[in-house]
Amino acid sequence: MFEKDQLIMCGGHGVCRVVNVTGNPFDRFDKVRMFYVLEPVFEKASTVYMPVDNDKVIMRRIMNRDEAEELIDNITEIETVWVKEEKGREQMYKDAIRTYDCQSLVQIIKTLYMRRQSRIKEGKKVLSSDEQYLRKAEALLYSEMSVALNIPKEEVQEYISDAVKRKKNLV
């Protein structure tokens, strides 16, 4: 169970602060079911009510600074993935994004970035669906890393890029 003021990842809403843990806000006669009152960190002016016993929407604690730094240190070792069939590839992107797993998000970002570079080099258009999945994966990863690293979300990509460059220069 999450505690009040804890930051968590909540499926479909990204990084959220647990504002309260309360009884059922929709049914005053339900004295059993408890709900998290969540405030999305990057979506101001919205409140999410999520059952504590929910087993359909992924909710997990966000990574801490050490975990974020470790993920960044390992980015070069995270493999890209490739599925030749369009439908299978799109399903893989959806599944990875739906897990809210940071390593899977890095994998998707790397794969789509390399795919974009390859298509541009070949003189082909970048697919809008690829761009859509890339933006979604980046938004999820960068919002969590922003909080973990205590830096603005807009600076996360550059922070990661600089760290990867420094590591390559050390090797």
- For 95-154, write each residue's pLDDT tens digit: 888 889 999 999 999 999 999 999 999 999 988 999 999 999 999 999 999 999 999 999
Q: Dump pLDDT digits (tens) for 22-76.
A: 988 888 777 788 999 999 999 877 899 999 999 899 999 999 999 999 999 999 9
CA distance 171 to 155: 25
What percentage of the chain has pLDDT greater than the value 90? 68
Q: Name the band, by pLDDT with cuts 50, 70 and 90, for residue 171.
A: low
Give the model confidence (pLDDT) of 3-19 as tens digits.
Answer: 999 999 998 899 999 99
Q: Which residues pair with 59 in a beta bridge?
A: 10
Model pTM score: 0.87
The domain locations on the chain are 7-61, 65-170
What was the pLDDT predicted at 41?
94
90, pLDDT greater than 70: yes
Fold assignment, 65-170: Methane Monooxygenase Hydroxylase; Chain G, domain 1 (1.20.58)
* Secondary structure (DSSP) of 83-114: -SSHHHHHHHHHHHHHHT-HHHHHHHHHHHHH
